[in-house]
Amino acid sequence: MRFQRIDNFTIFARLLSKSLKKIFFISLILVFSSISTRAQYFLEYGGSLGVANYLGDIGGNEGARKDFISDMKLAKTRQALNVYARYKIKRYIFLKSELNYLRIAGDDKLTTNTYRNARNLSFVNDMLDLNIQGQFVFFEDMDLGADYRFRLGMRCYVGTGLGLFYSEPKTLYKGEMVKLRPLQTEGVKYSAFGLSVPLTIGLHFTYKKKHRFGWELCWRKTFTDYLDDISKGYGDPSKLSPLGVELSNRTDELSVPIALANNYGFDPVQNPKNIRGNSADFDNYVTMCFTYGYVIRGKSSFYRSRYSNFFVKKRRKLRTLRSKF
C-alpha cells in the first residue's frame, strides 16, 4: 500500500508541476512589483549564504533511521544560497518568496550501520527550490538598548508555506558524475519535480531601518523518497541498461563476505526480500543560512496624506472644468 501511495503522488505531482511553476512565478512578480506600488516601506529584498544537509536512506548512525538532525552526517554538509523578497502585510505577519540553490549529498562509506556500509551507495544532488511562506513574528523589540533612537531592532519569527523543487541525483562512477534518475536503478520512473512544506524559524536585526541581518533555519518536508535515488528494491537487470545494472548494486566493488553480499542485488532466490532502501519514510532536507536584506523606504505618511490628496483634488478640478465646455 505504501508503494502505491508514492506512485500516485508522483503522478499527481507531475500534473501539478506546470501550473505550480506558473503560480510561483506570478507570486514572485507580485511581491517584487510592490516596489512601485503603495506601501513601499514594507518591502525587503536580499539574499543568504549557508549550508544544507538531508535525511534519507543514505548515511545515518547505527540502528534504524531517526527523523531528526542527529541522524545526519555532518561530513556531507554542503553549500546553500538564495535570493528572496519579503513583504510586511501587518505588524506581525510577513509574506516571503525565495529561490534557493543547494546541494545535498550522502555516502554509505560514512555510516556506522553495517548493512548500509556494505550496500556502498552514494549520491550528490544539486537542487533548485522555490517556495512561498507566511511568517509570524512571535517576539519583537525595535529599540534594542532603549536609547529611544530606534537604530537597532530585532524580530524572531516562525513560518511555513509551500515549495516546489527540482531534483537530479548523481553519483561518482569511474571518475565521472552520472545522473541516476534516467537509469531507473530500482525500475521506477520518478519525476525531477516535487513538492515540499518548509518549516522555518529565524531572527533578524534591523539597523537604521534599512539594513537587515539575520539567521534562518528551514526544514523541508517532502513527498518523495528519491532525493537520493533510493527507496524500495533493486531493479530487474533484464530491464535495465548496462550502466543501470552497475549502479543499482555496487556491493561487488567492496570485499564483502558472501553471506553478507547475498543480501544485495536483484535475486529472487538468494535475496527474496529485495531491500535496497526504506520506503516507509520520505526524504527531507534542511538549510541553515545567514541573511542580508535591504528595506525599501517609500514616502512618509505625511507626504502621502498631503500631496496625494492635492493631486486627486487637482484632477477632479480639471475634470470639472472640462465638463463646462
**Residue 230 binned pLDDT confidence (cut-offs 50, 70, 90):** very high
DSSP structure string for 73-130: -GGG-EEEEEEEEEEEEETTEEEEEEEEEEEEEEEGGG---HHHHHH--EEEEEEEEE
Copy the grid coordinates of residue 176.
565521472
Residue with cell string 528572496: 84
Report the alpha-carbon distance of residue 246 to residue 172 in Å, rounded. 12
- The number of residues in the chain equals 325
169-196: pLDDT as tens digits: 999 999 999 999 999 999 999 999 999 9
Task: Report the pLDDT averaged over residues 314-319.
Answer: 46
**Number of structural domains found in the chain:** 1
Q: Which of 106, 94, 84, 79 is nearest to 24 (CA)?
A: 84
Residues 12/224, Cβ–Cβ less than 8 Å: no
Extract the runs of DSSP E, i.e. beta strands, from 180-283.
Answer: 193-207, 211-222
pTM of the model: 0.79
Residue 216's domain comprises 2-324
Report the alpha-carbon distance of residue 257 to residue 200 in Å, rounded. 45
| CATH, residue 44 | 2.40.160.20
Strand bridging mode 169-173 / 122-141: antiparallel
Task: Report the pLDDT averaged over residues 2-25.
Answer: 54
